[in-house]
Amino acid sequence: MRLAGSAALRDIALGLSLLLVLAVPAAAQPINIGAVLPMTGLAATYGQPYLAAVQLGIEEVNRAGGINGRMLEVTVEDSQASNTVAINAFNRVLQSRPVAIMGPGLGTQLLAIMPAFEREHVPVFAGPSTRRVTQQGAQWFFRTTSHDAVGKELWTRLIVEDLHKRRVGILHIANEWGYSGRDNTTAFLKSLFQLEPVSIASYQAGDRDVTAQLLQMQRDGADIIVSQGFPVDEALIVRQMRQLNINIPHIGSGSLCGAFLRNLVTPAEIEGHYCEGPAVLPTLSDSPAMKAFVAAYTARASFPPDIYATGYYDVVRMLAEVMKRVGVDREKIRDGFRNASFEGVMGTYHADAEGNLWTGSAIMHFGANGTATVVRRLNRAATEATVVPQ
């Protein structure tokens, strides 16, 4: 009888607990944001910095009172470097019923999960530069940083107009993003200057030697090399160019900017190289807001943010602003992003017809002792690139 009585009391207690949970008003429940990011594997150098930015943004919103008193929380799933894993991760995040999802900054993964988020009507935000991502007619995706049709025009103009090089070698990772860099560079060389690349080579994700590809560039007579790959890849290209004594200019993608900030290359190794990204390196900014963000992010992550992580931080703050105005309905959130401009630490964001929130670009040149100088940038208020004196 004592056991039966204890069981009855336990059942009553559990029932009361459940009633208390159900009685919590919706206004007091946390608001869930999903995050599908490559936290492990070959692309972890993207996911970990991006999550730190998302978490910092959420913490700041919550310290300021949340969304009309409701706190934000994040559910994170690891997309690794696999489209299949990314799809499964996305489906798991959906179970937490997020109002929006911070997606992987990898174009291949976003194209893979796009049918799911279009079907589920959930806003997704991410910063891939793969051009095709916002050319699919998606209604629920917003790109937080610029795409390759912006950045590759800028570096093509730098190559020919400023550096006076005409024999371009293109080295890229063999995936959708690498092809985007290759194809946009090739298109701008032809349309702007009636040129063709003299050498094109690719490598597989995870390759640890690009000697053959670099020697091909040299044999083909390239007088400059551009590259698009993961941060560890671009750090490898920088080191192996030095080891092979290939002394021609090299422009890396935004991944090389990140590799520099993450100390994947030394100041001596990167001296003389360039990197192209959606905006000036956060560590070079004179903006008080950016300086405060860099300090807070570095204290949290133990390394400074790159511009892509900055985009994730800004979009969390934008999302909070929209929800304070329209609530947590997914469609209203989407329409809020479509119809307004936002001031972030990176600058002014405004969605175009494709869902691209940012259309800027900048190229930095690395000097002695880890210094970096902006050599060309895109003026977002103008229609073409403008030169910034060194």
Please check whether the domain covering 29-146+288-350 is classified as CATH 3.40.50.2300.
Answer: yes
Structure confidence at residue 101 (pLDDT): 98
* Range with lowest mean pLDDT among 15-29, 117-131, 235-249, 369-383: 15-29
pLDDT digits (tens, 9 = 90+) for 304-326: 999 999 999 999 999 999 999 99
- Measuring CA to CA, which residue among 129, 128, 154 is closest to residue 364? 154
CATH topology of domain 148-277+362-387: Rossmann fold (3.40.50)
- Measuring CA to CA, which residue among 56, 83, 41, 138 is closest to residue 356? 138
Q: Which long-range contacts (CB under 8 A, 24 or more apart) does 242-246 make?
A: 242/269, 244/211, 244/214, 244/215, 244/218, 246/214, 246/217, 246/218
Mean pLDDT of 299-306: 95
Distance CA 75, CA 44 (A): 17
Mean pLDDT of 56-66: 98
In our burial notation (b when 16+ CB lie closer than 10 A, e otherwise), range 145-169 reads bbbbbbbbbbbbbbbbeebebebbb
Structure confidence at residue 262 (pLDDT): 87
pLDDT digits (tens, 9 = 90+) for 30-45: 999 999 999 999 888 8
* Per-residue tokens: 153: 């025009």
Are 29-146+288-350 and 148-277+362-387 the same fold in CATH? yes
pTM: 0.88
The pLDDT confidence band at residue 27, using thresholds 50, 70 and 90, is low
Distance CA 308, CA 177 (A): 15
> What does the domain layout of the chain look like in residue ranges?
29-146+288-350, 148-277+362-387
Distance CA 374, CA 387 (A): 9
Instruction: Determine how many CB atoms are found less than 10 A away from the CB of residue 241.
Output: 22
Which of the 8 DSSP states describes residue 209? -
Mean pLDDT of 290-306: 96
Residue 213 in this model has a pLDDT that exceeds 50: yes
Residue 165 in this model has a pLDDT that exceeds 80: yes
pLDDT digits (tens, 9 = 90+) for 118-142: 999 999 999 999 999 999 999 999 9
